[in-house]
């Protein structure tokens, strides 16, 4: 335990030195990157409170909307890791407002996956299914769940929420042009083969 604490303190010292060096000798983007590295370190070691504090500090150093959205995605990951639904809801609302200021389609699709997960966990299966189906062809949220799991959630929420005709069109016989192909055949989970 002492060895782990020692390594943690050593890493924090290096990160603090990197921040100090960036503030003295480099530009704003390097300062932001140094603060982000410290945020990611706290996330990696599972210190939720310090990670959230450091993410806020990093946000004050961030100008670009896309980078601010990335910080919100880190906050969402923390929320999901700790099942903090209040943090998740606030972060989704923050991401939506940031997206109105300007955001790209990749981040919009990532937000759909995160929002779909919270909808699924609060039993809003219809909204979850629609959000998942909208983002299936361009999934880039591998940091939160693997592709097979995403397809499984997509199929299950669609079975619950969609009528039979829509289920057949959007899931079973999904057109190959949208990148989804046949969702039930893309998953290695046995239940998907039975749809």
Q: State the pTM of this model.
A: 0.81
| Predicted pLDDT of residue 135 | 85
- Residue 86 confidence (pLDDT) above 70: yes
pLDDT at 64: 87
CA distance 167 to 117: 19
Long-range residue pairs from 98-101, CB within 8 A, at least 24 positions apart, any chain:
98/65, 98/68, 98/69, 98/72, 99/69, 101/65
| Tens-digit pLDDT profile for residues 55-81 | 999 999 888 888 999 999 999 999 999
Token reading at 38:
């410290």
Counting residues of the chain whose pLDDT is more than 90, the rounded percentage is 38
pLDDT at 66: 87
Q: What mean pLDDT value characterizes the chain?
A: 84
Please state the length of the chain: 195
List, for residues 118-137, the tens digit of each pLDDT value.
999 899 999 999 999 988 87
Alpha helix (H) ranges present in the chain?
A: 2-25, 28-45, 48-60, 65-81, 85-101, 105-121, 125-135, 147-161, 164-167, 183-186, 190-193
Task: For 84, list phi and psi in degrees, rounded to 5.
Answer: -95, 85
């Amino acid at each position: 335990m002492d060895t782990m604490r020692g390594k943690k303190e050593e890493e924090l010292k290096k990160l603090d030195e990197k921040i100090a060096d960036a503030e003295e000798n480099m530009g704003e983007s390097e300062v932001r990157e140094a603060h982000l590295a410290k945020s990611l370190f706290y996330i990696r070691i599972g210190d939720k409170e310090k990670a959230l504090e450091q993410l806020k500090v990093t946000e004050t150093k961030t100008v670009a909307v896309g980078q601010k959205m990335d910080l919100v995605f880190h906050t969402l990951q923390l929320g999901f890791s700790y099942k903090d639904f209040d943090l998740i809801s606030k972060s989704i609302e923050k991401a939506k407002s940031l997206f109105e200021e300007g955001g790209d389609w990749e981040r919009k699709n990532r937000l759909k996956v995160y929002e779909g997960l919270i909808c699924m966990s609060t039993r809003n299966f219809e909204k979850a299914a629609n959000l998942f189906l909208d983002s299936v062809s361009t999934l880039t949220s591998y940091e939160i769940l693997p592709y097979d799991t995403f397809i499984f959630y997509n199929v299950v929420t669609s079975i619950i929420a969609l009528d039979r005709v829509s289920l057949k069109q959007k899931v079973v016989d999904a057109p190959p042009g949208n990148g989804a192909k046949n969702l039930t055949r893309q998953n290695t989970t046995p239940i998907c083969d039975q749809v």
